[in-house]
Structure 1
Amino acid sequence: MLERNGREFLIVYTGPDGSGRKSVAEAVGHTFGMAKVISYVTRPARSGEVDDQDCHFISMEAYLQMELEGQFLESVEIDGDRYGIRRADVENSLRRYGVVYLILNREGAERMKELYGDKAIRLFVYADRRVVEERQRNQATDEAVIARRLRHYDREMAYRSSCEHAFENFDLGDTVFQITNTLETYLQRGLVDKD
């Protein structure tokens, strides 16, 4: 696990669907030993997703009850599905680990910035529209789903200039390397090169 040094940060990965933000976030999170704060969603799991690991997949009724109880810091509807981050999950994870990461759309990223200010570091991960489309086709994503996600592409890309950092994810290894170096400046772990 990442050693606590008194600093608290929410590392927020955002960007268009299909840009690889989840793969990048998980690789960087693994590199640093960071804990992930998991969203609650009403959509069905996508191919390869695991409940309580990728997202908490819950019914619309359960989601609406949690929302009514004021449990969510952020709640958004996209294409008829609801997505939310539970306040207790963020606060407990920050208290326990100091540095955590989340994977959110632009509304969620903006909300975390409003609530946490300089503690929220937004990392915008993107890829060219053609690359995004190819990646989704290579994953055998349904054409209707691809079309729906691409309808949001330009709107998501417009958020890039609002984020603290942006990374084009052409090569996963290179993107992870760039983000790791960027986060070192915030985390200040005091690593020493002994070569």
Structure 2
Amino acid sequence: MRKGLLFVVSGPSGAGKGTICKKLIDKMDIELSVSMTTRKPRPGEVDTKNYYFVSEEAFVETIQVEGFLEYAKVYGNYYGTPKEIVLKKLEEGKDVVLEIDIQGALKIRESYPKGVFIFILPPSMSELRKRITGRGSESEDDINLRLGETLKEVSYIDKYDYCVVNGDINEAVNRVAAIVKAEHSRVSEDIYDLIEKYKEEI
């Protein structure tokens, strides 16, 4: 049985990476990686579905045994990608997609370099501004700050394997799905195992 692949999807806020990941899961046999956090559940959130909600003590213990592919502390709460859960799914042959910020993706690149890294780009800065403004939750100053951050974030694009411009959401999802399919045709350890089986059958 072939091993699953880890697809790491990231990009600037407003680029549409969350929507792409959700539609990809509906379209393909791929699972979303669930993060672990020390923050309290919000109304409607379900443990093990939205997050693994744990105590700070349990989270720190997991850090000490190197149990995360990456983790960070944001606004007083820890967030991390549990290594054992993700690796178990990959060993079972399941593909996993992880939506994460760029700093987190770079940490995963160090801890799990076999991952496939996909950067989602907006079609233009004006379109990105329109998307963020459409949320109606941020001030003009916040929006300008986010746009400035976007220019910094795209400088890391050379750390990624692929980039997809999200001008049309369905086209972007199809492109990411094509990447998933193509990666399974890459010459890999699994293929060499299959060739060894060929030899046994002669």
Greater C-alpha Rg: 2
1:46 shift after superposition: 8.7
Letter in 2 for 1:167: V
**Counterparts of 2:136 and 2:44, CA distance in 1:** 12
CA 69–145 in structure 1, closer or farther in 2 if over 3 Å, else same = farther
**Counterparts of 1:7 and 1:18, CA distance in 2:** 32
- Name the SS of the counterpart of 1:159 in structure 2: helix
Any unmatched runs of 5+ in structure 2? Answer: 186-202
Aligned position for 2:183: 186
TM-score (norm 2): 0.73
Any unmatched runs of 5+ in structure 1? Answer: 189-195
1:164 shift after superposition: 0.5
Q: Which residues in structure 2 correspond to 1:14-29 (within 5 Å)?
A: 14-29=10-25
Q: Give per-residue Cα distances to partners, 1:34-92, cap 9 Å, x unaligned.
A: 01111224567799976643444556565445434543221124565543111112112
User: 2:5–2:116: 8 Å Cα contact kept in structure 1?
Assistant: yes
User: 1:35–1:97: 8 Å Cα contact kept in structure 2?
Assistant: no
1:123 to 118, 127, 133: 118
**Counterparts of 1:176 and 1:102, CA distance in 2:** 15
1:93 shift after superposition: 1.7
Cα-Cα RMSD: 3.2
**Counterparts of 1:129 and 1:44, CA distance in 2:** 35
**Counterparts of 1:43 and 1:154, CA distance in 2:** 30
Aligned length: 184
